[in-house]
C-alpha cells in the first residue's frame, strides 16, 4: 500500500513517519484521535493539516500493525 501523504526523512524528526514533510508525526495524530479528539479538533490544533492527512495517518497505523504478531498480556 502506498501512502502519498506520509513521508520519512532521516534528516527530519529522527526519521519518524510524518505528514507531508511537515514536522507533524503520524504518531501524534493517531494519539490525538485515540485520546478522543475529533478530526475537527485535530485540524484546529494543526492548521497545516488536511482531513485527508488524518485519514491516511489512520490507514498507515492500521497497516503498521496488520498481520503481525503482537505481544499481548493475558489478564
Q: In whole angstroms, what is the distance from residue 24 CA to residue 13 CA? A: 9
Domain 6-64 has CATH 1.10.10.10: yes
pTM: 0.84
Query: Are 32 and 45 a contacting pair, CB within 8 Å?
Result: yes
CB count, 10 Å around CB of 25? 16
Could you read off the pLDDT of 2-14 as tens digits, one per residue?
899 999 999 999 9
Pairing of strands 18-19, 6-7: antiparallel
CB of 71 closer than 8 Å to CB of 21: no
Residues in the chain, how many?
A: 75
pLDDT in tens, 16-51: 999 999 999 999 999 999 999 999 999 999 999 999
Amino acid at each position: 500500500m502506498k501512502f502519498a501523504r506520509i513521508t520519512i526523512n532521516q534528516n527530519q524528526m529522527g526519521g519518524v513517519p510524518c505528514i507531508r514533510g511537515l514536522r507533524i508525526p503520524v504518531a501524534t495524530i493517531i494519539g490525538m484521535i485515540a485520546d478522543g479528539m475529533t478530526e475537527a479538533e485535530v485540524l484546529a490544533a494543526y492548521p497545516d493539516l488536511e482531513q485527508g492527512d488524518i485519514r491516511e495517518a489512520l490507514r498507515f497505523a492500521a497497516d503498521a500493525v496488520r498481520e503481525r504478531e503482537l505481544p499481548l498480556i493475558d489478564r
